[in-house]
Amino acid sequence: MMIKTVAELNAAREQAKELIALRVGADKVDGKVRKNVMVCGGTGCTSSGSPALVDVLNKELAARGIADEIKVVCPGCFGLCALGPIMIVYPEGTFYSMVTPENIPTIVEQHLIGGTPVEELEYHEQSGDHHVASSLFETRFYEKQNRVALRNCGLIDPENIDEYIARDGYQALAKALLEMDPDSVIQTVLDSGLRGRGGGGFPTGLKWKFACSKRGEVKKYVACNADEGDPGAFMDRSILEGDPHALIEAMAIAGYAIGADEGFVYVRAEYPIAIQRLQIAIDQAREAGLLGKNLFGTDFSFDIELRLGAGAFVCGEETALMTSIEGHRGEPRPRPPFPAVKGLFGKPTVLNNVETYANIAQIILNGADWFTGMGTEKSKGTKVFALGGKITNTGLVEVPMGTTLREVVEEIGGGVPNGKKFKAAQTGGPSGGCIPADLIDTPIDYDNLLAIGSMMGSGGLIVMDEDNCMVDIAKFFLEFTVDESCGKCTPCRVGTRRLLELLDKIISGNGEMEDLDRMEELCNYIKSASLCGLGQTAPNPVISTLRYFKDEYIAHIVDKKCPAGVCKKLVQFVIDPEKCIGCGKCAKNCPAECITRTDYTAPGHKLASFAIDTKKCVKCGACIDNCKFAAIYKN
C-alpha cells in the first residue's frame, strides 16, 4: 500500500474502519468476524503472562473451528495495570481481569460461543455497599479521564498501520502539508498553549518557533526524548507500545514546521516491546509512503531513526541526550546556546518527549481552540500520570489539567487501601517534591505544583500512606540521583553525596539539629550551581519534606525515633506479654535467634511468654509476620 494523495489516504481509512468497527460501536459490521478479543500487550500485562493467554486462546479458537469468527488483538496498555492480564471482548465491552490460561476454555465456551459473559471472571468494581460488574470504560477509574494522548492505547493494534489510519491517522500530516504553511502549523501549536510534558513545561510552539529560522538553508533535526528514567514513570513507554504512529506523524509535522528532514527517537534499551513496535511502525510508514521522500506528493521529505540509550538517567536531560545520540558519553552541555539554536551535531534541533508529540496530530486536526477548552488558564490540555504506590488502582490515567489531587487519588485511584490514611504524594520523581495531605485539594498543573514545592515532571505520581517515613522517602530519591549523576559538575557530583550523608546520619540516630540548617544550605547551593536540570532539581525531595514534614526529621534527631517505624536503626520490636499466648512461632522463625521464652506473671496467673533481645535483633520483621495475635509491635 502506497499513499501519495489525500484521496488515497481517505480511501484507506474507509477500508480500514471495518477492522475496528466492533470496538467503536458501529451499527453494522460486515464480514465473518463477530467478536474482537483484546488481550493487553503492554509491558505490565506481558510480565503477568498475557502472551500465554494469547497462545492458549488461539489454540482453543482453532480447535472449536471459530478462529475466523473471532479476531484476537494485542493492543497497548488499558490503564488498570494492577489487574493484568486484562482481556476485553467487543462489541459487548466485557472486561475480564487477572485472566489465567486455565480460564480461557470457559471464556471461549460460555462467552465467545454461548454468548453469556463469565460473570465470576469479570472485573467487579466496589460501588457503595454493592459489587457492580462494569465494562472497562464505565469504571470510576475512567469516569473522570479524558484520553487525548492515550486515545488509541488499548483500542487499536499498534502493529497494524491500517488500524491507526482508521482512527484518522496521518490526516493531520496531510492537512499540515497540503492546507497549511509551516508558520501556520507553529502558530496553531502556539495558540493551543501546549507545554512540554517532559517536566519543564516550556511552550512547545515557542520552542518550534525558535528553531524555524532559515528553513531550507541550514540542516535541522527533530528529536524525541523517549528515555523516561523517572522511577515509577511509564507514560511514554505505554504510548510507544500502544500508539507508535502518533509519534511518527507528530515528528513529521514538526519536521515540516521547522524545515527538518530527519528525526531521531532516543529510547531506552530496557523498553523492548516499545522498541519493537516503534520499529515496526516506522517500517510500515515508509512502506506506505508516509515516511521518506515527497510526502503526499509535496517536496517535503522526512525520515526517522531509532537510537537506544543504556539507561542513564542523565540522558533524559536534553543536551546529554543529544550528546549520546552523537555517539559520545551522555553528559550535559552548558546552555545557552539552546538546542533550538545549536543542538544535534551543532544544528538547530527541536526536542520534545513522547507525550508532547502525542497531542500534536489532534491539535492540528481539531484546532487550537479545541485544545484550550481543556485544562487551566496557563496549563492547557490533559496530562498522563503513572499512578502508583499505596493506591487501590495502580495504573495509567489521563486527566484534564486542573484536576485536583484528591480526585486523582480518591476517585480515579480508588483511595489508599487497607484503611490507611493518605499522607503524601510524590510528583515529578527524583526531581519533584512531596505534597502533604492538607494540600490534597490542590489543582494539578505546572504553576500550582511549583508553588507548593513540587513539579509536574514527566508524570509519575507516587501515593504514600501513614506507614511511609518521609525522611526515608527523601533518602530513596536522593540515592537514585547520586547513583545517576554523570559527575561532570562538582555541585551535583559532590553536593548530592554530602546531602545523602547527612540524611544517613539522621536516619541512623546520630543527627543533630544543626544538620537541618546544613541540609537547607547545601540544597540551595546544589540548585543554584549545578550544570543541568538533574542537579538543579536533585534537592527537591529533601526541600519539600523539610518544608512539610520537619516534625519527622526532629523526631529522628531529638527523640531518636522514626514515627512511621521504617528506619531500622531507630526501631525496636517489642512483644506485648498480655497478648502473647506463648505459641513460640516468632522464636521458631527468627533468623537471628534473638527471641527467647520468659515467664509473665499476671494477677493470679503465670503465663508462658517470649521476649526479644533488642541487641541481637536485626529488625527483619519475621516475628511480626508470623504472629497471628498482633502481640508484636514496633516501638
Residue 400: asked if its preceding bond is cis (omega within 30°), the reply is no
Element (H, E) at 62: helix 50-64
- Spelled out in words, what is the top-level CATH class assigned to the domain 470-559? mainly alpha
Task: Give 59's strand partners.
Answer: none
Give residue 606's pLDDT band: very low, low, confident or very high (50, 70, 90): low
Instruction: In whole angstroms, give the CA distance from residue 176 to residue 172.
Output: 6
Cβ neighbors of 450 (< 8 A, separation 6 or more) are none
pTM over 0.75: yes
Residue 518 burial (CB count, 10 A): 14
Q: With contact defined as beta carbons under 8 Å apart, do 184 and 227 qualify?
A: no
For the chain, report the end-to-end CA distance as a whole number of angstroms.
Answer: 70
Helices 6-20 and 171-179 pack at an angle, to 10 degrees, of: 160
Q: What is the pLDDT of residues 175-221, one digit of tens each?
A: 999 999 999 999 999 999 999 998 788 999 999 999 998 888 899 99
Residue 604 in this model has a pLDDT that exceeds 70 = no
Query: In this model, does residue 80 exceed pLDDT 80?
Result: yes
Q: What is the C-alpha to C-alpha distance for residues 283 and 541, in angstroms, rounded to an integer? A: 42
Kindly state the cell numbers that stand for 260: 527538518
Higher pLDDT, 257 or 141: 257
Inter-CA distances, 268 with 204, 264, 309, Å: 23, 13, 4
- What is the pLDDT, as a whole number, of residue 126? 63
Number of neighbouring beta carbons within 10 Å of residue 205: 21
Mean of pLDDT values over 462-478: 95
Beta-strand relationship, 87-90 and 94-96? antiparallel
Predicted confidence (pLDDT) at residue 27 exceeds the cutoff of 70 = no
Average pLDDT over residues 374-378: 95
Q: Which long-range contacts (CB under 8 A, 24 or more apart) does 578-583 make?
A: 578/602, 579/629, 579/630, 579/631, 580/607, 580/609, 580/610, 580/629, 580/631, 581/629, 581/631, 582/607, 582/608, 582/609, 582/610
232: confidence class by pLDDT, cuts 50, 70, 90 = confident
CA–CA separation, 222 vs 548, rounded Å? 41
**Digit-coded pLDDT (tens) for 4-22:** 999 999 999 999 999 999 9
Rounded to 5, what percent of the chain is helix, strand, coil?
45, 15, 40
Is the CB of residue 581 less than 8 Å from the CB of residue 564? no
Helices (H), 348-469: 354-366, 368-372, 405-406, 446-451
pLDDT band at 129 (very low <50, low <70, confident <90, very high): very low
The pLDDT value recorded for residue 605 is 54
- The cell numbers describing 151, all together, are 486515545
Query: Could you tell me if 545 and 608 are in contact, meaning their C-beta atoms sit under 8 angstroms apart?
Result: no
Position with higher pLDDT, 499 vs 126: 499
Whether the Cβ atoms of residue 321 and residue 315 lie closer than 8 Å to each other: yes
Q: For the chain, where do the domains classified as CATH 3.40.50.11540 start and end?
A: 161-368
For the four alpha carbons of 343, 344, 347 and 352, in that order, the dihedral sign comes to negative
| Mean pLDDT on 245-263 | 98
Range of weakest confidence among 11-25, 87-101, 436-450, 577-591: 577-591
- Dist. CA 295–CA 292, nearest whole Å: 7
pLDDT at position 1 is 72
Report whether pLDDT(234) > 50: yes
Query: Is the pLDDT higher at 126 or at 283?
Result: 283
User: What sign has the CA pseudo-torsion 137, 141, 143, 148?
Assistant: negative
Query: Which amino acid, 123?
Result: Y
Determine which of 166-180, 368-382, 404-418, 595-609 has the lowest per-residue pLDDT on average.
Answer: 595-609
Is the separation of the CB atoms in 553 and 502 below 8 Å?
no
pLDDT in tens, 46-72: 999 999 999 999 999 999 999 999 999
Set of cell numbers at residue 610: 517470649
Taking the C-alpha atoms of residue 394 and residue 388, their distance in angstroms, rounded to an integer, is 5
489-514 pLDDT tens trace: 999 999 999 999 999 999 999 999 99
pLDDT above 70: residue 434? yes
* Residue limits of CATH 3.10.20.600 in the chain: 382-465
C-alpha cell at 453: 514545592
Residue range 278-323, pLDDT digits in tens? 999 999 999 999 999 999 999 999 999 999 998 899 999 999 999 9
Looking at the predicted structure, is the pLDDT value of residue 340 above 80? yes
Q: Which CATH class is domain 32-138?
A: alpha beta
Q: Does the domain made of 572-634 have the CATH classification 3.30.300.130?
A: no
Query: Are 533 and 317 contacting, i.e. CB atoms less than 8 angstroms apart?
Result: yes
CATH 3.30.70.3270 residue ranges for the chain? 572-634
Q: Is 216 helix (H, G, I), strand (E, B) or coil?
A: coil
* Cell numbers at 543, concatenated: 526541600
Residue 89 gets which letter from DSSP? Answer: E
C-alpha pair distances (Å), 269 with each of 54, 74, 356, 402: 25, 22, 21, 34
Q: Is the dihedral of CA 294, 296, 300, 302 positive or negative?
A: negative
Here the cell at position 161 is 498501520
Cell 459487548 belongs to 92
CATH of domain 161-368: 3.40.50.11540
Q: Give φ, ψ of 573 to 5 degrees.
A: -95, 130
* Percent of the chain with pLDDT strictly greater than 90: 76
Count Cα atoms within 13 angstroms, Cβ side, for 494.
Answer: 5
CA–CA distance from 250 to each of 246, 381, 531 (Å)?
Answer: 6, 16, 31
* Residue 602 pLDDT grade (very low, low, confident, very high; cuts 50, 70, 90): low
What does DSSP say about strands 349-353 and 382-389: parallel, antiparallel, or unpaired? Answer: unpaired
Class of domain 382-465: alpha beta
> How many other C-beta atoms are found inside a 10 Å radius of the C-beta of residue 605?
7
Residues of the chain with CATH 3.40.30.10: 32-138
Would you say 221 and 263 are in contact if contact means Cβ atoms under 8 Å apart? yes
